[in-house]
Amino acid sequence: MPAKQQQPVILITNDDGITAPGIKNLVEAVKGLGKVVVVAPDKPQSGMGHAITIGTPLRLNKVENMFGEVEAWQTSGTPVDCVKLAVDKVLHRKPDLCLSGINHGANHSINVLYSGTMSAAMEAAIESIPSIGFSLLDYSFEADFSAAREYVFNIAKWVLNNNKEKRLLLNVNIPQLPAAKIKGVKVCRQADAKYKEDFNERKDPHGKNYYWLTGEFLNFDKGKDTDVWALKNGYVSVVPVQFDLTNYTLKKQLEKNKFLK
Amino acid sequence: MPAKQQQPVILITNDDGITAPGIKNLVEAVKGLGKVVVVAPDKPQSGMGHAITIGTPLRLNKVENMFGEVEAWQTSGTPVDCVKLAVDKVLHRKPDLCLSGINHGANHSINVLYSGTMSAAMEAAIESIPSIGFSLLDYSFEADFSAAREYVFNIAKWVLNNNKEKRLLLNVNIPQLPAAKIKGVKVCRQADAKYKEDFNERKDPHGKNYYWLTGEFLNFDKGKDTDVWALKNGYVSVVPVQFDLTNYTLKKQLEKNKFLK
């Protein structure tokens, strides 16, 4: 007969790197919910999207005393590499839950594509591991995570206890407000927004040009059911995310077309 | 009064790097369709997904005589960076079409997430530029692109002349077969498939472990309407792709839930 009940195994990763305050806050928030294991990048990996490391090998090293009693590993890879390494070389099994973050900065709307935080969570979901990416709308490393931690705990606990979905993947963004000012949680769709690029052109000391990526965030979406709207109005936004990227509407249209038959 | 008709501007990029035979074949295939401009990575960027470069600046340099008369630029960035730089710093406008590839190797099913080829095309689609990623099912740099070129030309021409979609994004994979053996083009959905990781563990000369990402491709999808099925059965697969990742089915379910209200 099996033992009463095994503790759930919770894998934690991020894209800001293992030393970022956000991941420490995530570990602290959920460590009462199960056996937590951290496998995170050894350096910042923001904007890495769903990148994987093919052309170079990866390092994987245990880190002592960074999260108290919690087992922790750092890798030289991307956030997605971290999840792959965690399952294959650290846990030797699928965890019961994967949490990514807490990201320093927003990952709403189109950011889901660029975000290493969300790509790590998506990689776990591809493996049928229920998975949540958390982001706080504050880029500062001195950000106040106290309200975020409450929501992280409640949402992670709810998923552990109630989820029946084979491939649950949530993109959770938390406004930078004191807990008392947050109005609650809103299930949303991804806002239709993008960045207008404006590369900052400079000259190096040798007279050659180089370019910094900068841009302006543009939200075209007037809907009140989007993540951007929810965050602006004091809610925690929860967007359920999928990785079947087929555009079924366009598929139907193209199937009617002669050339493509 | 404007001149009779302006030639369409076609931006070409890839993820195998500007020196890969695949991009040369793509340029050759479509250069009769408009004014082609190449902006591609200066080194291989396979598996970079939707990564962007935030922490370091980018280089952008003109390349002479690589594609005959065709204007070409190389960047130190990812495929997505290439599209952003092309629009903001090379073309100073949106092109009429963006083509990415021809990738050396398959980008069907779940590969759409890892593929730099498809992420570049997706970045253009986010900018409302009709966009197509092309991949040939042959990793070899000596691959025969002759059949691929025919399909690339026909599909690109069709999109230029017939597309009314604001955000057309196609993932086109071409089987490694002679033109006479290819049965035609099939509009498909993304197959439900993934990789089973199996990191190859080695020791460096100093006795420390390092890991190469390897894995086995697993297709769970028995459908005959998928890209994997079409390719196995001798068709060119065309998957219309979207970048609204909201899982609307799960959204409806979660909205019924008490906790998340």
Q: How far is B190 from chain A (nearest CA, A)?
A: 6
Tell whether B219 lies on the interface with A, counting CB pairs under 8 A. no
Q: With left for phi above 0 and alpha for psi between -120 and 50, is residue B132 left, alpha or beta?
A: beta
Predicted confidence (pLDDT) per residue in B13-68, tens digit: 999 999 999 999 999 999 999 999 999 999 999 999 999 999 999 999 999 999 99
Residue of A59, A169, A200, A211 for testing the chain B interface, max B β-carbons within 10 Å: A211
Distance CA A204, CA A223 (A): 44
State how far the alpha carbon of B226 is from the alpha carbons of A44, A63, A197, B61, in Å.
37, 43, 35, 40
- Closest chain A residue to the Cα of B165, Cα to Cα: A250
Distance CA A232, CA A186 (A): 12
Distance CA A179, CA A150 (A): 8
pTM of the model: 0.95
Which residue type does B2 have? P
Which residue type does B122 have? M
pLDDT higher for B31 or B260? Answer: B31
Distance CA A100, CA A41 (A): 12
Domains of chain B with bracketed CATH: 9-190+223-255 (3.40.1210.10)
Confidence of residue A117 (pLDDT cuts 50, 70, 90): very high
- Chain A residues with CB under 8 Å of B241 CB are 245-247
Distance CA A20, CA A67 (A): 12
DSSP string covering B235-251:
EEEEEEB----B-HHHH
Confidence of residue A92 (pLDDT cuts 50, 70, 90): very high
Q: Find the DSSP H helices in A69-184.
A: 79-85, 111-114, 116-126, 146-162
Confidence of residue B259 (pLDDT cuts 50, 70, 90): low
Q: For B240-249, what is the mean pLDDT? A: 97
Cis check for the bond before B102: say yes or no (omega within 30 of 0).
Answer: yes
DSSP string covering B62-120:
EE-SSSTTSEEEEESS-HHHHHHHIIIIIISS--SEEEEEEEES---TTHHHH-HHHHH
Predicted confidence (pLDDT) per residue in A155-185, tens digit: 999 999 988 888 999 999 999 999 999 999 9
Distant-in-sequence, close-in-space partners of A185: CB < 8 Å, separation ≥ 6: A151, A155, A235, A236, A238, B259, B260, B261
- Chain A residues with CB under 8 Å of B250 CB are 165, 168, 240, 242
Kindly provide the ipTM of the predicted complex, given to two decimals: 0.93
- Closest chain A residue to the Cα of B46, Cα to Cα: A54
Q: For B119-132, what is the mean pLDDT? A: 97
Number of Cβ atoms within 10 Å of the Cβ of B190: 25
Q: What integer pLDDT is reported at residue B2 of this predicted model? A: 46
Distance CA B208, CA B219 (A): 35
Whether B90 shows a pLDDT value over 50: the answer reads yes
Look at the block and give the residue holding tokens 């366009």: A250
Question: What is the pLDDT of chain A when averaged over all its residues?
Answer: 95
Distance CA B133, CA B26 (A): 11
Confidence of residue B260 (pLDDT cuts 50, 70, 90): low
Distance CA B35, CA A189 (A): 38
Q: For B135-155, what is the mean pLDDT? A: 95
- Chain A residues with CB under 8 Å of B213 CB are 52-54, 58, 81, 84
Whether A127 shows a pLDDT value over 90: the answer reads yes
Confidence of residue A126 (pLDDT cuts 50, 70, 90): very high
Whether B125 shows a pLDDT value over 50: the answer reads yes
Distant-in-sequence, close-in-space partners of B25: CB < 8 Å, separation ≥ 6: B102, B145, B148, B149, B152
Q: What integer pLDDT is reported at residue A260 of this predicted model? A: 62
Tell whether A91 lies on the interface with B, counting CB pairs under 8 A. no
Answer whether B47 sits within 8 Å of A48, measured CB to CB. Answer: no
For the ranges A9-13, A217-221, B162-166, the lowest mean pLDDT is seen at B162-166
Distance CA B31, CA B27 (A): 6
| Residue B7 structure tokens | 């030639």
Q: What integer pLDDT is reported at residue B164 of this predicted model? A: 82
| Residue A196 structure tokens | 């207008």
Share of chain A above pLDDT 90, in %: 91
